[in-house]
Chains A and B, each alone.
Chain A
């Protein structure tokens, strides 16, 4: 277990390095540079000014050297200054925006896990009856319908038709409700589908039959015997769930005007904001990798049958 964990943690470094390298190469291999940006409001510059700027930001050096400099500085936590928001460092921007995204993500996660488990158990217990079909439909809709489409429906329903919540913003907890729900529905569907399958599997097993045979009523059977064992496979979907919430946050944040990290996805890429692109991709990549690692370790703890 300890050896496995150490090996996985050591593997994080090469994975992130490879990710940085691929992003760096794609970024530089394509036409268009930060000096002749396609971003709105950019001015065409004279060749001398361009050379000066290139020297100032180190863009005149050979690529491998630029990459080495980036790595050296990134290792010290210095991601440079944003090309677009010139007065602010990338670390500052991320430090401000990431907590907002994390709060939104954590709330969505909580709703998704709680709702998904409930929906999945209800579906399995009432297999092939009305409640099963209702739960499965909700789960499928959550998985299949893109979250920016869900956002539109939720805004129309709960902000325009029945004005319960504001259409956007992040000032009050009331404004948090719709973005959280929108972001949660997809992962909720994933959890519900897996929970249903896992519960169905356990419900048919011998030890459940034994529990029933010794005269336990339905509630303790489900909660004490079935759910406890059904949870194990459900943990494996938490990894993809983090990914769904992470990338989903961009759309949700832009529709609901949430001041999180999501909006920097596209802003940095279309603006050729090299330091920002690297930082955003690596932040998300590192987050996902660490979460996946934790899920795998938790899985090992939960299920004593697993040996590494």
Chain B
């Protein structure tokens, strides 16, 4: 049994939110009496993560993923439940824990604006008590991995968003943390930078064996980095397991796209499966997995020369996730018990 780095049990977080309404009358009333409502950001979740894993938290905005991450990094304490990371209770924020972990939030700067990042790094070196040799080694590694080069010697103020993110990443990793929390790491970045950041995280995990927990609402981040995915919605854990399994269980069908020649563009293909779209001679059908091969063969046989092209695809992962979030799935709704699959 390999070590469990993160163990979470019954974690719950409830917020009290002040209700505000529009309209002059309601505003005057609120001068005298305030109403609050309770919002359950995290409604009791359990999971465990082993050393070296790269786990993605997936969920729409407001699902509770960032809240969970904040609790695990120690910024937030829960309403009830327990969590241990590396054996520590995160929200105690003990120095020993802080030296072994890092939280990187996309779009947030912790570096000093007006001086070059390299100079901020030197401050971090002392705060985290990194010895000269280790510091130099990690500095060089990070500069190489993140392609920082001249960036670290420019004042942070002068860097573009993408460059700043890279430099912030480096700052957060100087002390070689064993656990890395990433909150929306590619938020606001252009596509090529997103790809680079993903590559970097993958390389980081491979080289250092650091355990990575990442939240994102970009499917591409998750697909690129995480074998294991924890789906959170309305504060509940809906699914915890492999990404591929998720797709298979959630969407037990394949997409068959048949392109018809001009003459036969109107042909009715509904007997082969559920028609998803019809677009200028290209018909897309949803066919249950088990029948996919048969139906495909039948289409080829029946249409013969009228068929110009035929493709067989897995459903897009986004579609799978959409269905999970919209409640159209076998995993249980927020009212019922969630099902964890492994």
* A and B associate in one complex: no
